[in-house]
Amino acid sequence: MNYERYYVCDLLNGEGVRVTLFVTGCPHACPGCHNPSTWDRKAGRPFTDEVRERLLDLCATHDGLSLSGGDPLHPANREAVGELCRLFRARYPDKDIWLWTGYRHEEVAELDVLRFVDVLVDGRYRRELPTSKPWRGSDNQRLIRLRR
């Protein structure tokens, strides 16, 4: 898996102060996407064990971890994202994980990684459906609380 960037003090991608990782690789290519530079899964930098550990360490003083992209549930990202979520949950059982995906929940509900995710924002971005709902880019997207 590759990633484009991460934010170490994010107030926009979920509740509280968060560490947010933007992975690369997105099969949806939504017109008007805010992050088209993340579509190519080979773009960005390799997500190494060292990067993963740095992110996990940064989460110690934050409310949670947010995963965006690209699409964290792109087939090429699922294994590394799953491992990150598993390690986060083991280290921080009282903190939460938010994940944005262009897939509908019904399409990915059986993925093992979702057992670690607290909040899923699902659905492709549709610029013709603007919204004022928090944490969503378009009105079709759903905020689904999977845990707690």
Confidence band (pLDDT; 50, 70, 90) for 121?
very high
Note the pLDDT of residue 53. 98
Average pLDDT estimate for 134-147: 96
Note the pLDDT of residue 24. 98
**Distance (Å, rounded) from C-alpha 97 to C-alpha 60?**
13
pLDDT in tens, 96-119: 999 999 999 999 999 999 999 999
Across the chain, mean pLDDT equals 97
Domains of the chain: 2-145 (3.20.20.70)
> Are 135 and 118 in contact, with CB atoms under 8 Å apart?
no
Place of tokens 């997500």: 47
Torsion of CA 7, 57, 113, 74, to 10 degrees: 40
pLDDT in tens, 31-77: 999 899 999 999 999 999 999 999 999 999 999 999 999 999 999 99
Sign, Cα dihedral of 47, 11, 73, 31:
negative
> Are 138 and 127 in contact, with CB atoms under 8 Å apart?
yes
Note the pLDDT of residue 147. 81
pTM: 0.96
Cβ-count burial of 53 within 10 angstroms (0-12 exposed, 13-18 middle, 19+ buried)?
A: exposed
Note the pLDDT of residue 135. 95
pLDDT in tens, 3-28: 999 999 999 999 999 999 999 999 99
91 pLDDT exceeds 70?
yes
Residue 32's alpha-carbon distances to 25, 28, 37, in angstroms, are 16, 12, 12
Sign, Cα dihedral of 86, 77, 145, 10:
positive
Confidence band (pLDDT; 50, 70, 90) for 148?
low
